Structure 1
Amino acid sequence: MLNSLSGRFLVLTTVFVMLAEVMIFVPSVARFREDYLLLRLERAQIASLALLADELIDAELERELLDNAGVFNVVLRRDEVRQLVLSSPIPEDISATFDMRDATPLTLLHDAMRRLLDPTDRIIRVMGSPVQDGGLLIEVTMETGPLRAAMIDYGLRILALSAVISVITALLLFLAVRAILVKPIKGVIAAMQAYADAPEDARRIIIPQAGIRELREAEQALASMQTQLTGALKQKDRLAGLGAAVSKISHDLRNMLTSAQLFTDRIEGSDDPLVKRLAPKLVNSITRAVNLCETVLVFGRVEEPPPALNRVNLAAIVSDVIDSERLAAGEHDISFAEDIPYSMTLRADGEQLYRVLANLVRNARQAILATGKPGEICITAGEDEETWWIHVADTGPGLPARAREHLFQPFQGGATKGGSGLGLAISADLVRGHGGRLELRRTDETGTEFVISLPKTSMALPAAAE
Structure 2
Amino acid sequence: MLNSLSGRFLILTMAFVMLAEVLILVPSVARFREDYLLSRLERAQIASLALLANEGIDADLEEELLRNAEVYNVVLRRDEARQLVLSSPLPGPIHETYDLRGATSWDLIRDALSELLDPVNRVIRVIGYPVNDAGQLIEITMQTGPMRVAMMDYGLRVLALSAVISVLTAVLLFLAVRQLLVKPIKGVIRGMQLYAEAPEDARRIIEPNAGIRELREAEEALQSLETQLTAALRQKERLAQLGGAVAKISHDLRNILTSAQLFTDRIELSEDPAVQRLAPKLVNSISRAVNLCESTLAFGRAEEPAPKLAQVRLLDIVSDVIDSERLAVGDGEVSFSEDIPATLSLRADPEQLYRVLFNLVRNARQAILASGEEGEISVAAWEDDEDWTITVTDTGPGLPPKARANLFTPFQGGASKGGSGLGLVISAELIRGHGGQLLLDSTGDEGTRFRILLPKTMVALEDAAE
* TM interval, short-chain normalised: 0.7 to 0.9
Q: Deviations over 1:103-123 (max 9, x none)?
A: 444443333233324444433
In the TM superposition, residue 127 of structure 1 has moved relative to its aligned partner by 1.5
Structure-2 residue corresponding to 1:422: 422
Counterpart CA distance in 1 for 2:285 and 2:349 is 16
Could you say which residue in structure 2 is the equivalent of 1:300?
A: 300
SS in 2 for 1:346: strand
CA distance in 2, matches of 1:450, 1:209: 52
Q: Which stretch of the first structure deviates more once superposed, 238-247 or 422-431?
A: 238-247
Q: CA deviation at 1:179?
A: 2.8
* Superposition map of 1:15-26 within 5 A: 15-26=15-26
Give me the whole-angstrom Cα distance separating, in 2, the residues matched to 1:419 and 1:293.
13
Confirm or deny: 8 A CA contact 1:243 1:301 kept in the other structure. no
2:358 aligned with 1:369: no
What is the aligned partner in structure 1 of residue 398 from structure 2? 398
Q: Please give the alpha-carbon distance, in whole angstroms, between the structure 1 residues aligned to 2:248 and 2:425.
A: 22
Distance of aligned partners of 1:309 and 1:284 in 2 relative to their CA distance in 1, 3 Å threshold: farther
Q: Which deviations, in whole Å up to 9, do the C-alpha atoms of 1:381-418 show, x marking residues without a partner?
A: 22222222221122222222222222211122232444
Q: Which amino acid aligns with 1:23?
A: L
Change in CA separation of 1:407 and 1:219 when aligned onto 2, cut-off 3 Å: farther
**Structure 2 residue aligned with 1:410:** 410
Distance 1:375 1:258, change over 3 A: closer
Aligned to 1:145: 145
How high is the TM-score relative to the length of structure 1?
A: 0.87
Task: Report SS of the residue matched to 2:458.
Answer: coil
The one-letter amino acid of 1:356's match is V
Alpha-carbon distance in 1 for matches of 2:417, 2:206: 33
User: Equivalent residue for 1:352?
Assistant: 352
Moved more, 77-86 or 46-55: 46-55
What are the within-5 Å matches in structure 2 for residues 180-329 of structure 1?
Answer: 180-207=180-207, 215=215, 218-219=218-219, 222-223=222-223, 226-227=226-227, 229-267=229-267, 269=269, 293=293, 296-329=296-329
Q: Distance in 2 between matches of 1:202 and 1:327?
A: 52
1:160 and 1:421 map into 2 onto residues whose CA distance is 76
State whether structure 2 residue 31 is matched by structure 1 residue 31.
Answer: yes
Tell me whether 79-88 or 217-226 shows the greater mean CA deviation: 217-226
Other-structure match for 1:115: 115
Question: Could you tell me whether the CA contact under 8 Å between 2:434 and 2:461 is conserved in 1?
Answer: yes
Structure 1 residues 175 and 204: CA distance shift in structure 2, 3 A: same
Query: Distance between the aligned counterparts of 2:348 and 2:270, measured in 1?
Result: 34
SS state at 2:302 partner: coil
Unaligned 5+ runs, structure 1: none
Residue 224 of structure 1: how far off its partner (Å): 5.6
Residues 462 and 285 of structure 1, relative CA distance in 2, 3 Å threshold: farther
TM superposition shift of 1:33 = 0.7
Q: 1:158 to 1:210 in 2, by over 3 A?
A: same
Higher mean Cα deviation, 212-221 or 334-343? Answer: 212-221
Residue 170 (structure 1) aligns with: 170
Contact 2:281 2:327 in 1 (8 A): no
Query: How many angstroms does 1:97 deviate by?
Result: 2.7
Q: Structure 1 372/254 Cα, relative in aligned 2: closer, same or farther at 3 Å?
A: closer
Cα deviations by residue, 1:253-280 (Å, 9 ceiling, x for unpaired): 2322332333344355556799889978
What runs of 5+ residues in structure 2 fail to find an aligned partner?
none
Which TM-score applies when normalising by structure 2?
0.87
Conserved? CA contact 1:240–1:300, under 8 Å? no
CA RMSD of aligned residues (A): 3.2
SS of residue in 1 equivalent to 2:98 = strand
Q: How many residues are treated as equivalent by the alignment?
A: 466
| 8 Å contact from structure 1 (residues 288, 351) kept in 2 | no
Q: Superposition pairs for residues 23-172 of structure 1, below 5 Å?
A: 23-59=23-59, 61-172=61-172
Q: Structure 1 vs Structure 2: percent identity of aligned residues?
A: 73
